[in-house]
Structure 1
Amino acid sequence: MALQTANAGIHYNFINGEWCASSSNQTITNVSPSNTKDVVGVVQKSTLEDLNQAAASAKESEKAWRKLTGNERAAFLYKAADLLEDRIDEVANCMAREMGKSLGESKGETARGVAILRYYAGEGLREVGDVIPSTDPDALMFTTRVPLGVVGVITPWNFPVAIPIWKTAPALIYGNTVVLKPATEAAVTCAKVIECFADAGIPAGVLNMVTGRGAVIGQGMADHSDINGLTFTGSNQVGKQIGQSVLARGGKYQLEMGGKNPVIVASDADIDLAVDATISGGIRSTGQKCTATSRVIIQNEIYEQFKDKLIQKVKNIKVGDSLDEETWMGPSASEGQLNTVLSYIEKGKREGAFLLTGGERLSGPEYDHGFYIEPTVFEGVTNEMTIAQEEIFGPVLALMKVDTLEEGLKLANDVDYGLSASIFTKDIRKMLEFIEEMEAGLVRVNAESAGVELQAPFGGMKQSSSHSREQGQAAKEFFTSIKTVFIK
């Protein structure tokens, strides 16, 4: 049954240009991790029947959408960008309430979503192929790019505006139609983004959103024969399962998964800069970024000085309700995530790491109805410890001491992941060695690990990704196929 978006906080699936209740007639209620008494909204608990309708709608609209010019497709992205910009306060407020990101960060992420839409709208007028010399003097040979068809998009809760947009926008501009499944925990925020596309007049069926459990909708997308490509951001365990399912039926997949990102602080580093960047990279967003700094590898000569400055600043971090403008760090996104972080902290203590600060769930009148945790710093961490090897996704820093840069690089690379890494040094030789030797898809010099620009390729090495790249013009490598043309 097609419905208008309700005013009572109920958010529906968006299928074939209409807002629809799930066939299950069941819903999921999202509450704020800052205050569980705050009901953010209600989303649909969808079924495979709903997914099938969305996929059929996307398939039906695929040919007409593909036949539009890039400039015509871009017009819808530009309009959606304008609408999102007009609603930036509304969307950011919803994001802050729904997943606990501070209001300032939420506004920044929404503004980034606007910029991504406009960037990919510009792709509608960029080149799509090359002319290639033929050995036949009477022939013309060139390449062009064609869309995959229907693309499935599965997104996480930690960036509920930016990640859905940075996957959906390139898929659309390159001529694909989309079925989007946002993380249930952030589906209200994502619905507000989809409303911008709907109000921009995007043709029915081109963009569809289905909310629900990952085991049903996410796995259903991976298995669906009408979904030609699937792009996923989330955990390694789920990502590998998704990839295997898509591969088994001959589809194309793109996985962006975890990280265990190091920062190396060399003996000649600007210590104040390194401390501030380590805190920002590791603790901002409550450490809930795949590119967040987790391991801090410091040369002996400056270890104590760095540690003392770091601890002093960490202890002064303002933790609180995400809507409070004075809050620097909000809550964990859910009770489950909070418990996961606390379990890793306990493992760290049991395995012999020394807790320098933090490590406890916060309590008191302003914290008792939310999922708040203290920013946490360990030292004496060795590489075989769990907190040195596994992604925590929380505000936990592990300090590790080394004698030389070579030792630091070896330690930095000695994990299964390879997403991002940074170094702080004034020595060009150390910079170049780090760039050459670091096994990560994103390396940054004298800057925090948690940062990527929308026009640059993004992705990891080793277990962090499927070795493809998102964002920038690199996105077209996944969302299109090359067609070689020979004209005699």
Structure 2
Amino acid sequence: MRNLETLLGGEWVTTGEWIDVHDPADVRTPVARVPALSAKDVTRAWDHAERGFAVWKRTSPFERARVLTDAARLLRERLDDIAADVTAENGKTLAEARGEAGKAADFLDYYAGLARQGYGTLLHDARPNTRTHTQREPLGAILVISPWNDPLITPARKLAPLLATGNAAVFKPATDTPLSGLHFARALHDAGLPAGVLNVVTGRTREIEEALLDDARIAGLTFTGSNEVGNTIRRRLGDRNVRFQGELGGKNASVVLGDADLPAAAKAVAAASFGQAGQRCTATSRVVVERAVYEEFTRLLVTEVEALTLGPGSDPATTLCPLSSPRQRDSVLADLEKAVREGARVLTGGEADTEGERAHGCYVRPTVLGEVTPDMALWRDEVFGPVLAVRAVDGFTEAVAAVNDSVYGLAAAVFTRDIGAAYRFVDEAECGQIAVNHPTPGWDVHLPFGGFHDSGTGYKEQGDEVLRFSTRVKTVAIHFGA
């Protein structure tokens, strides 16, 4: 087992107190330990971030771009080692982990390029001999709180634009999955990021929460996680001038219309639902099927799901990984039991897998549930696991109503050969991400990302939309001549 250090003020440090990191494929023995920082350590992190910001905001954007580009290169050079740690701490397959590491490098490259672009706009002014422009400036020191389900790509999505635009950061990775974020920090450190610009707080949230959230120097906070935690943070910041960007829950739906290519739709829905064991923010968890093709589509879907191979992420043969922790496994099993009590019918799966070596891991068989009704908790509540609810509807209008029957609004998809129906769906579905004949996950780095309603806040991630969160706009009028 490895003892790892964390990054504070440009130095790699330990504290003497440790947090064990476990592989969800076999939770008996820790695979690594990371420092358990104290509240005093967190205050030191804010001290470092304050000093780092003073340096970084004055650093040339071309130098910022160089650091990000070099860090991207290091991530790619170290991809195999990084992917192994993503799999070891999170459980996802090596193929998924490699894809995550590669995408993290893509974020750095994209925002390195964006750092070189213009940072303002020249505006007309009604006053004579006056030139007016806007310019974007960094906010300051920003708190980044990332989840356990995408422990590398989410920090990359958040940190790359913040750093490109001249901000400093205090970064809190999920307690269960800190190794990936430390790899990201090490690449930036080795690429020459100045001391204090990025500080990584590994620790138990309950012990350091006040030091993290109540420091007066927080200029902004970007968070991905549950609505319960996100709303608690938002209320805590409510009377302070702190920007809040939240990527919260989802109950994403895919619609299969009667004219769809059913085999292709079944493959796409299975991939969208069970990739990363359903632990993606944009994973499909509800399928709305036009009644005329319900039986045929359900049969094709179950066949696709039953072909998945459940096993440890480190096994190349695995196509469905374990859940990320015993806590998450038990939560999903409780949701399944409740769904069956409420009348849902198990079409496949529906239980833990404890065969052989899997008895020591966090395995739940991929599950499809039929006869799901809108009054069931399964239809409304986020499960965040390999569980898919299927419901029959009569026609397009009822299908859209079913998609919109949610407090969430993150992602939705429709499968159809009718271009008119596709465009109607785009207009009428109340979600921030819409796919037509594609799975719900899979958004690239330059595409704005974020949901409507209870799935998020007014600030999007990714693309140039994120600059609305990571920068402030100053308007300047200059009078010249007589």
Give the 5 Å matches for 1:192-207.
192-207=183-198
CA deviation string 1:122-179 (max 9, x = no partner) = 0111111111100112111000001000011000011111110110110001010111
Please report how far the alpha carbon of residue 210 of structure 1 lies from its aligned counterpart in structure 2 after TM superposition: 0.6
| TM-score with structure 1 setting the length | 0.97
Alpha-carbon distance in structure 2 between the residues aligned to 1:40 and 1:79: 29
* Distance across 2 between alignment mates of 1:247 and 1:44: 31
* Range moving further from structure 2, 117-126 or 188-197: 188-197
- Structure 2 residue aligned with 1:21: 14
2:25 is matched with which residue?
A: 34
Amino acid at match of 2:440: S
Are the equivalent residues in 2 in contact too, given 1:211–1:217 (CA < 8 A)? no
Offset from partner CA, 1:14-63 (integer Å, 9 cap, x none): 110011223xx321101100112342210122221111101110101212
Distance 1:78 1:202 in 2: 11
Distance 1:384 1:474 in 2: 36
Q: Distance in 2 between matches of 1:361 and 1:216?
A: 33
Give 2:456's match in structure 1, choosing from 465, 468, 474.
Answer: 465
Q: 1:370: Cα distance to partner?
A: 0.6
Q: Specify the SS of the correspondent of 1:485.
A: strand
Note the C-alpha offset of 1:219: 5.0
Task: Provide the rounded CA distance (Å) in 1 between the counterparts of 2:232 and 2:304.
Answer: 41
The question of whether the paired residues in 2 share the 8 Å contact of 1:40 and 1:188 is answered with: no
1:10 to 3, 28, 52: 3
- Measured in 2, the distance between the counterparts of 1:468 and 1:284 equals 27
Deviates more, 1:371-380 or 1:213-222: 213-222
- After superposing on structure 2, the runs of 4+ consecutive aligned residues of structure 1 that deviate more than 4 Å are none
**Residue 154 of structure 1 contacts residue 218 of structure 1 at CA under 8 Å; is this kept in 2?**
no
Could you tell me which of 92, 98, 116 is aligned with 2:89? 98
Q: What residue in structure 2 maps to residue 478 of structure 1?
A: 469
Aligned twin of 1:5: none
Deviation at 1:215, TM superposition (A): 3.0
CA contact (8 A) 1:181 1:218 kept: no
Q: CA deviation at 1:396?
A: 0.3
In structure 1, the gaps of 5 or more residues are 1-7
Instruction: Indicate yes or no: 2:162 matched with 1:171.
Output: yes
Distance in 1, Cα, partners of 2:471 & 2:246: 16
The within-5 A match list for 1:188-227 is 188-218=179-209, 220-227=211-218
Partner of 2:218: helix, strand, or coil?
coil
State, as a whole percentage, how many aligned pairs show the same letter: 38
Question: What are the Cα deviations for residues 438-468 of structure 1, in whole angstroms up to 9, with x where unaligned?
Answer: 0000011000111211101000101000121
The answer to whether residue 227 in structure 2 is matched with residue 236 in structure 1 is yes
Out of 259, 270, 273, the residue aligned to residue 261 of structure 2 is 270
CA contact (8 A) 1:102 1:323 kept: yes
Q: TM-score, with normalisation over the residues of structure 2?
A: 0.98
**Aligned residues between the structures:** 479
Match of 2:273 among 255, 277, 282: 282
Do the aligned residues in 2 keep the contact of 1:354 with 1:378 (CA within 8 Å)?
yes
- Amino acid in the other structure paired with 1:461: F
Structure 1, residues 63-103: CA drift from partner, whole Å, max 9, x if none?
Answer: 22111111111111111111110000000011111110001
Mapped contact 1:223–1:249 kept (Cα < 8 A): no
Q: Is the 8 A contact 1:259 1:464 kept in 2?
A: yes
| Secondary structure at the counterpart of residue 242 of structure 1 | helix
Q: Secondary structure at the match of 2:392?
A: strand
By how many angstroms is 1:248 displaced?
2.2
Mapped partners of 2:28, 2:74: distance in 1:
30
Once the two structures are TM-superposed, the CA of residue 330 in structure 1 deviates from its matched residue by 0.7
Mapping for residues 407-418 of structure 1, pairs under 5 Å: 407-418=398-409
Which position in structure 1 is the counterpart of 2:380? 389
Q: Bigger CA drift: 218-227 or 287-296? A: 218-227
Q: Is 1:128 equivalent to 2:113 in the alignment? A: no
Q: Deviations over 1:288-331 (max 9, x none)?
A: 01100000000011111101111112112100011000000110
User: Does the 8 Å CA contact 1:42/1:188 hold for their aligned counterparts?
Assistant: no
1:401 matched to 2:386? The reply is: no
Q: Give the gaps of 5 or more residues in structure 2.
A: none
* Aligned partner of residue 3 in structure 2, secondary structure: coil
Q: CA deviation at 1:198?
A: 1.4
SS in 2 for 1:408: helix
The alignment yields a C-alpha RMSD, in angstroms, of 1.0
CA distance in 2, matches of 1:358, 1:252: 43
